Amino acid sequence: MRVVLVSGGVISGVGKGIIASSSGLLLKTLGLRVTAQKLDPYLNTDAGLLNPLEHGECFVLADGGETDLDLGNYERYLGIQLSNESNMTTGKIYKLVLDKERRGDYLGKTVQVVPHITDAMQEWIERVAKIPVDDSGEEPDVCIIELGGTVGDIESAPFIEALVQLRHRLGRENFFSIAVSYVPIINGEEKTKPTQHAIKQMRMAGLIPDMVACRCERELDDGTIQKIARSCQVEYEQVIGVRDMETIYQVPLLLEQEGLLKQLRKGLALDNTTLPPARVQKGQALWDIWTKTVSPKHHLQPVNIALVGKYVTLDDAYLSVHKALEHSAMRCGRKLNLVSVDSEHLEHDMQQKDPTKYHNAWKALCEAEGIIVPGGFGSRGVEGMIETTKWARERKVPFLGICLGLQVAVMEYARNIMGLKDATSEEISAHAEHRVIIFMPEGSKEQMGGTMRLGTRTSHFKPGTEWSKLRAMYGGADVVEERHRHRYEVNPEYIEDLENAGLSVTSLDDQGVRVETIELKDHPFFVGLQAHPEFTSKVLSPSPALLGFVAASAGCFNEISKAAPKKELLVNGASDASF
């Protein structure tokens, strides 16, 4: 078992996830099988109940695990499918140990952080690192581990102790530690003192860095790198600068140029590993495709997309949507120009409260070539989303509604086409006459965590939907699997009335009851999905739903849809999950 640990100091949010994902990609280009884990020191059991405005989006895995958003980066970069156990939290590990204590597994011993918690962490890491994550069904060769937060935080201490012990047990040639630090620039001068203190703190904790990755806005001066190497007791080659790039997808190219892959080969003794020629060739092909796809392309025509949501003050709240749109724009040969619009600013009463916000929001909508309404919870901003949907429907602007976006599209259609003026969601009004959106039958209103409809679910396109633009993007497949995360869904009692009024329900669930997708036939692109297709989008394999939306917005839908892979079943919306 080989491990690459990515940890950070100075500040959080410095880019550990992208560096971890990029490191995994570089190893994969050698032909190695790579998996990934995220260790989060917070006490929550999972990310399901974390506020997206504070923590960013909750990423949903195929098995229904609600995890940290960095697992999305791993899947997008590496083309792998992780499990709920790939995200270890303090809450999960303490619950595991306490459950064992209650069963009497420790035979009356005093249960302590060391050795019981730290041993449980190591056992968890080693067990999950052996789980196959790609179509080969074989055990991975290398596990990328990202330690959340910053070294020195009180809550990180047990994780660091466990990792120090793991390094000792595995041996130096099987454990490579990358310390990520931030180099601020003040009055033009690159300051190394924060990095010196961060590495000193890591060494005191027992984490010996094999490489120091210095995040910075610009390329570091050679003198700065020499100073960091000298003060942190590492060789000059073990310090690399990770400057801001045009896109995050170019970071692997930068890291390879800076010598990371060379250091990984040396530190993990990879040159002593013999791989089948087919795997080596596949790795090289992956690198060639990646390089060709993400290389800077100038003078691309922009495609203007408006994202109308509730959590737009933090970009990470809709991270997977942003990335899926980027993947799709790259495939279409366009430059994504994404404008985030707060749905509350589109509501009529905002015209009186703050005319400037109201004007700017509607200006962005008027200039958009495509409009997307992503998921969310609660009643705030829903009326603005309904107004958005009406605008897109009436003016024939390409529209994609995801989860809540589908639900508001149904509410808007029921109100303005079917004449049900009070049509709403049970989430907004539990006693309204026309609740076209209802609480799902098996849900719980008492227990919040993990009680939604989560993970991969199957959608069956109905007979007679061969015209469907969404179905065309899935290669004409009869059955599609996508990931879900919702408590509310379309009321089955209104399906017939909606269809009679012209809103097509194009696919249903396994039982033929739940609405999975809706479309308007006489519209350039008007699609709603109860699923979250953004979670399965990959850099080299964009989500069919979002790719179709961006293509329609860019005016190249026919060209893109004809190139869609022809398959009877598309699992997780991806045509080649393993690249």
Is residue 568 very low, low, confident or very high in pLDDT (cuts 50, 70, 90)?
Answer: very low
359 pLDDT higher than 70: yes
Structure pTM? 0.94
Is residue 9 very low, low, confident or very high in pLDDT (cuts 50, 70, 90)?
Answer: confident
347 pLDDT higher than 60: yes
Q: Which phi and psi angles does 547 have, rounded to 5°?
A: -65, -45
Is residue 385 very low, low, confident or very high in pLDDT (cuts 50, 70, 90)?
Answer: very high
pLDDT digits (tens, 9 = 90+) for 174-215: 999 999 999 999 999 999 999 999 999 999 999 999 999 999
Q: Is residue 213 a contact partner of residue 199, using CB atoms and an 8 Å limit? A: no
What pLDDT score was predicted for residue 441? 82
Which residues carry out catalysis?
403, 532, 534
Surface-to-core class of residue 394, CB atoms within 10 Å of its CB (0-12 exposed, 13-18 middle, 19+ buried): exposed
Range with lowest mean pLDDT among 73-77, 273-277, 336-340, 514-518: 273-277
Task: Say which DSSP state 113 is in.
Answer: I
Range with lowest mean pLDDT among 255-264, 471-480, 562-571: 562-571
Q: How far is CA 46 from the centre of its chain?
A: 15
pLDDT digits (tens, 9 = 90+) for 243-263: 999 999 999 999 999 999 999
Q: What is the largest CA-CA distance in the chain?
A: 74
Q: Which residues contact 123 (CB under 8 A, 6 or more apart)?
A: none
569 pLDDT higher than 90: no
pLDDT digits (tens, 9 = 90+) for 148-168: 988 888 999 999 999 999 999
Of 158, 131, 122, 115, the residue nearest 34 (C-alpha) = 131
Taking residues 314-324, what's their average pLDDT?
A: 95
Q: Is 413 left (phi over 0), alpha (psi -120 to 50) or beta?
A: alpha
Q: Which residues contact 312 (CB under 8 A, 6 or more apart)?
A: 318, 340, 341, 342
Domains and CATH numbers, the chain: 2-293 (3.40.50.300), 302-571 (3.40.50.880)
Is residue 311 very low, low, confident or very high in pLDDT (cuts 50, 70, 90)?
Answer: very high
295 pLDDT higher than 80: yes
pLDDT digits (tens, 9 = 90+) for 391-406: 999 999 999 999 999 9
Is residue 572 very low, low, confident or very high in pLDDT (cuts 50, 70, 90)?
Answer: low
451 pLDDT higher than 50: yes
- Could you tell me the CA-to-CA distances from 259 to 212, 275, 281, 296 in Å, in that order? 12, 22, 21, 21
Is residue 578 very low, low, confident or very high in pLDDT (cuts 50, 70, 90)?
Answer: very low
Structure tokens, 408: 């508001």
What pLDDT score was predicted for residue 229? 96
Per the prediction, the chain carries an average pLDDT of 94
